[in-house]
Structure 1
């Protein structure tokens, strides 16, 4: 018995190593970064803190950070100014156009790895700053967009740092100083917006953390069916519909690429706990704990299955075919991810249907279809499709 336990632990440990290697390789291939360390230029973001002197030198050397147009207008690029600010998929650099009168003319996004539907939803915030002077725009209180919280918070931080940089540039022009920008213009703690990404301890975020913690701990000690249904309901309502908190490839890539800092800990606390449950519980002999007790979409399927007791029996042949389909699908998606051929498939995992204000129509349609199917077939998406579940079963 002991030998069998040790063997299972070794198998689980090797599976975890494979998972970590896969995600690390994917983060490097897609973003050139691993846990916040930029492998393209060999510089670390220090998980949310800049080295001021290095950043100053980089900004001075990079003419693209601030461009002065012939008519006196300026364009600020926030790629270096906010290199430590992460959205859901990674950095979200912006170009902020400011006319010669000091008014924000327009804001446009640089290429990024955010989910297009969510990012487009979050970019509706741009109108909050356009048409205002730099001082007015910096004083504008802008809240994150529901359904695109990560992306919108990152956009807010990028805009604030870009505006602070533009203001400092104007002040230096007035003072006729030729010195490089000081730390106040480089996203240090003194810049408005420097902590915008830290405002993650919201009521929803705290509620999500509590529900995820209950799902992680209570089932280990309580085998009560009624409580299980309460937990499933909380998962759907709080983790799914209210906060849109779930483990997905997009989240995993964000964590492995950008890492976790004190500035983002509040926002990422619940998702990080869920990732740890999914990855580490198998080592303690609890494989599938996340899927069974925490995942909001899995919970929704199980609750839908309680609507009827009449379940058609799947033939062994069909069951095998569906399992082969799941494995083949997962293998194809891994190839696409590791070769950076088409990583946009991550945006279409059905979990994103919970973010219904931003999710693709097709994602919502398929999510509903699987929920209906789960009335008769237990957890069909979990068992025969889910790429995230397949990763943790690898």
Structure 2
């Protein structure tokens, strides 16, 4: 039926208004996630927020708290008779910059009247749940400071780290030392350097001694002559984490003050990533011949430092650590109160350029008759799987969307992936094509290639299909709950996309990928139709001929928005 011009215009306006309403719902949910994370991540358990129950863990007879006008923010603990039992301090916010495995921990420290520690307890933490529980269960660690004087803790009272939660327990120690006024050395890399540590930089060295003023600087001699110096990245860069932890880097300088290279020391990061970096001589010469001032002011973006293939996060953390310690040492030498600002800029790697080329090719193929060519279609699908999936690892996922909603879009660090996300969301919004699902998703390409490859095919009944099609929407609800409530579950595990980055993929995401592909052998595009929350979201935002109708799924989306709003209200209150 053809509408007359007046009704056609009204229909177009209605379709646009309804579609904009859908977009507003999505944008509002993203905004609430961002606001919720911003408020929860900056909010610390302030002294005034302490409850008697929290303090009673350290002072069982405590009945009230009383603030004291002191510089250290202590709070007096009183018993039923009003007598003082001691006082408590907490490490936040002064020590919030000290991170463990994945975040800072706020520790409550109790003291008696003679400044002896009566105990410690964990108030809150942004660190990984399993690591934190491992620390809390370790009675030896949690009671290791009991009876020690406050000055002892501020003067580097170091206890053994908790096995299996090394970074978390070391960060807790550093937080307490920093909070109580101590100058924190490196608890992660406390061992002094040896000649073996610097042999790759100075093979002829026969003497190595620390500088009397600068603890991170070591002098190197050979045959009685000074041949250079070594600057340790620790402790200045101890909080720069690669894939799973920090890595100590040694920077060698010759007698003229020029870098001869870097050496990789002890690391808490994963093998074989550290090994890849340690063995890559080209990467280790990245900063060769640079002087300290150049190194301290270096811009990794402008230098186009891309890291070591297969160990990008580890190697880039090493590079950041090199610049950080050089900057810190330069500040010490120049006695400046503040660090010089490093310039920032857009870093475009080869993979970013390749990803952008693939995006343009997908748009051209999807919008022209080229998509009808079987040869072109198969060749491009293989390109998606091999390059975009296995090599570049650029895929749109709920874990990525949630992360960007919380922290912002990393345009400078990942322009290629950013462009991919823009294409994924912009094309459905402004056209009738879901270009990502049909022409850009590597996992979708796998399903298209295997579709109909075996003779036996399963035909699902209409009722069963409708039930299975509820799964992606329920997964979207799960993603919202996990993100807004900071639940200790990984969104990576519910989708197959990390399986393409197979070097770091977990078994859950691999299982989802395998099950989805096997199912697609018998039911065409099974995962896309019945399992993909990201595809469900993109399809919801797709502009089509039925966009003028407000349907049940719109009411569900509105319900998700209402839930997000309630969770946000709960956080800010």
Global fold match (TM > 0.5): yes
Distance 1:233 1:8 in 2: 37
Q: Which runs of 5+ in 2 are unaligned?
A: 45-92, 99-153, 157-185, 193-214, 218-231, 254-258, 264-283, 287-304, 541-573
Deviation, 1:346, is 3.7
What is the 5 A alignment of 1:34-53?
A: none
Decide which structure has greater helix share. 1
Alignment correspondent of 1:390: 536
Distance 2:420 2:495 in 1: 17
Distance 1:355 1:291 in 2: 19
Distance 1:70 1:133 in 2: 30
Q: Aligned in 2, Cα 1:140/1:256: closer, same or farther, shift over 3 Å?
A: farther
Deviates more, 1:318-327 or 1:339-348: 339-348
Alignment correspondent of 2:372: 224
Asked if the contact 1:349–1:363 (Cα under 8 Å) also holds between the matched residues in 2, the reply is yes
Distance 1:287 1:31 in 2: 34
- Residues 285-311 of structure 1, C-alpha deviation per residue, up to 9 Å, x if partnerless? 425321111111111111121423542
- Residues 199-235 of structure 1, C-alpha deviation per residue, up to 9 Å, x if partnerless? 4322x32222111221123211224141332322221
Alignment correspondent of 2:247: 126
Alignment correspondent of 1:350: 496
Alignment correspondent of 2:361: 214
Deviation, 1:140, is 5.1
Asked if the contact 2:359–2:423 (Cα under 8 Å) also holds between the matched residues in 1, the reply is no
Alignment correspondent of 1:155: 317
Deviation, 1:105, is 4.6
1:144 aligns with 2:307: yes
Alignment correspondent of 2:33: 26
Asked if the contact 2:493–2:509 (Cα under 8 Å) also holds between the matched residues in 1, the reply is no
Q: Aligned in 2, Cα 1:214/1:96: closer, same or farther, shift over 3 Å?
A: farther
Deviates more, 1:226-235 or 1:152-161: 152-161
Distance 2:502 2:494 in 1: 12
1:235 aligns with 2:384: yes
1:205 aligns with 2:326: no
TM-score by length of 2: 0.48
Alignment correspondent of 1:75: none
- Higher normalized contact order (CA 8 Å, seq sep 6+, divided by chain length): 1
Decide which structure has greater strand share. 2
1:10 aligns with 2:17: yes
Q: Aligned in 2, Cα 1:148/1:105: closer, same or farther, shift over 3 Å?
A: closer
Deviation, 1:386, is 1.4
Alignment correspondent of 2:463: 317
Distance 1:12 1:212 in 2: 25
Secondary structure of the 1:393 match is helix
Distance 1:376 1:166 in 2: 60
Q: Aligned in 2, Cα 1:337/1:260: closer, same or farther, shift over 3 Å?
A: closer
Distance 1:381 1:64 in 2: 42
- Residues 7-28 of structure 1, C-alpha deviation per residue, up to 9 Å, x if partnerless? 4443332222222222222233
Asked if the contact 1:281–1:287 (Cα under 8 Å) also holds between the matched residues in 2, the reply is yes
How many pairs are equivalent? 317
Deviation, 1:316, is 0.8
- Residues 176-200 of structure 1, C-alpha deviation per residue, up to 9 Å, x if partnerless? x4x41342xx4x13xxxx67xx543
- Residues 248-277 of structure 1, C-alpha deviation per residue, up to 9 Å, x if partnerless? 13332444444457743xx323x2222222
Q: Aligned in 2, Cα 1:354/1:109: closer, same or farther, shift over 3 Å?
A: farther
Asked if the contact 1:147–1:355 (Cα under 8 Å) also holds between the matched residues in 2, the reply is no
Once superposed, what is the RMSD of the aligned Cα atoms?
A: 3.8
Q: Aligned in 2, Cα 1:95/1:20: closer, same or farther, shift over 3 Å?
A: farther
Distance 2:460 2:434 in 1: 22
- Residues 114-135 of structure 1, C-alpha deviation per residue, up to 9 Å, x if partnerless? xxxx923xx5x825x1x55586
Secondary structure of the 1:119 match is coil
Distance 2:36 2:361 in 1: 36
1:251 aligns with 2:397: no
Distance 1:308 1:152 in 2: 43
Alignment correspondent of 2:50: none
